[in-house]
């Protein structure tokens, strides 16, 4: 005698996770980022044009380091930009 098929189980839907809320940028991020990048660029240009006498006299090539730190800080803030 042929066997009957077992009853099918109802398909259960997996529990869905709550949607993740994507937040936007804080209002200070973009102006701060652009200000740091522009200030770093201006600092480096002034250092080269004035032959390391400006913007801070007496520290020599450390003016370049200050300019690059400002630039890198601005670029670092771009990592938080959404």
Band (22; pLDDT cuts 50, 70, 90)? confident
Band (75; pLDDT cuts 50, 70, 90)? very high
**How many residues belong to the chain?**
82
pTM of the predicted model, to two decimals? 0.71
Q: How far apart are CA 20 and CA 82, in angstroms?
A: 15
Q: How far apart are CA 5 and CA 61, in angstroms?
A: 85
Tell me the two tokens of residue 40.
């770093």
Q: How far apart are CA 33 and CA 26, in angstroms?
A: 12
């Amino acid at each position: 005698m042929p066997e009957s098929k077992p009853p099918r189980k109802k398909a259960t839907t997996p529990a869905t996770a709550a949607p993740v809320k994507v937040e936007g940028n804080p209002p200070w991020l973009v102006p701060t980022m652009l200000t740091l990048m522009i200030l770093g660029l201006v600092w480096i240009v002034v250092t080269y044009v004035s032959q390391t006498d400006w913007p801070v006299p007496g520290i020599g090539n450390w003016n370049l380091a200050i300019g690059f730190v400002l630039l890198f800080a601005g670029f670092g803030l771009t990592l938080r930009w959404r």
